[in-house]
Amino acid sequence: MFTGQDRHTFDEKGRLTLPAKYREELEKGIVVTRSVVEPCLLVFTREQWEVVGQRCSDLNSLDDDARSVARYLFANAAELVPDRQGRVILPSRLRTWAGLNGEALILGSNTRLEIWSAERWAVLNDELEANPDLLKASARQLGINIGI
């Protein structure tokens, strides 16, 4: 399970260091793609990416929405293997799309990681914190009861 947040910078070669606490889990390789709903990148282990692939395969291939989502996820995906220091080179097309220039926040999001520009995350986080009732209602609707 991925939790927490870590701030990392890109080096002069465009490499991003993945959090040390996840290196063992990520050392076999990762898949990075664009989020369908937010301006961030999604990072999956190979095993989790297989789950995403299976779910897409299970969808009705005649459904326009299913094809569109699958195309978007897979066409924008990059398969990467971290080096011994836990660094990966994110393709420039993904860095540009996500607004990553110099610094990134790597957020744990349960079964995946998310890579955000610090500025974009600050805007979203401020919106979430400004609407605690919306968070409570969403948690309730999803059946999440952790004292909220």
Domain boundary assignment for the chain: 5-118
pLDDT at 17 over 90: yes
Question: Would you say 107 and 128 are in contact if contact means Cβ atoms under 8 Å apart?
Answer: no
Q: What is the pTM of this model?
A: 0.88
Question: Would you say 121 and 135 are in contact if contact means Cβ atoms under 8 Å apart?
Answer: no
Higher pLDDT, 48 or 128: 48
- Among 27-31, 62-66, 95-99, 100-104, the range scoring the smallest mean pLDDT is 62-66
pLDDT at 98 over 80: yes
Fold observed for domain 5-118: Chemotaxis protein chec (3.40.1550)
Please report the pLDDT score of residue 91 as a whole number.
94
Q: What secondary structure letter does DSSP report for 63?
A: -
Q: Which residue has the tokens 């999956």?
A: 44
Please report the pLDDT score of residue 142 as a whole number.
80
How many angstroms separate the CA atoms of 78 and 124, rounded?
A: 25
Please report the pLDDT score of residue 64 as a whole number.
81
Whole-number average pLDDT of the chain: 90
At 77, the pLDDT band (50, 70, 90 cuts) reads: very high
pLDDT at 148 over 70: no
For residue 2, the number of C-alpha atoms closer than 13 Å in the C-beta half-sphere is 25
pLDDT at 147 over 70: no
Question: Would you say 10 and 17 are in contact if contact means Cβ atoms under 8 Å apart?
Answer: no
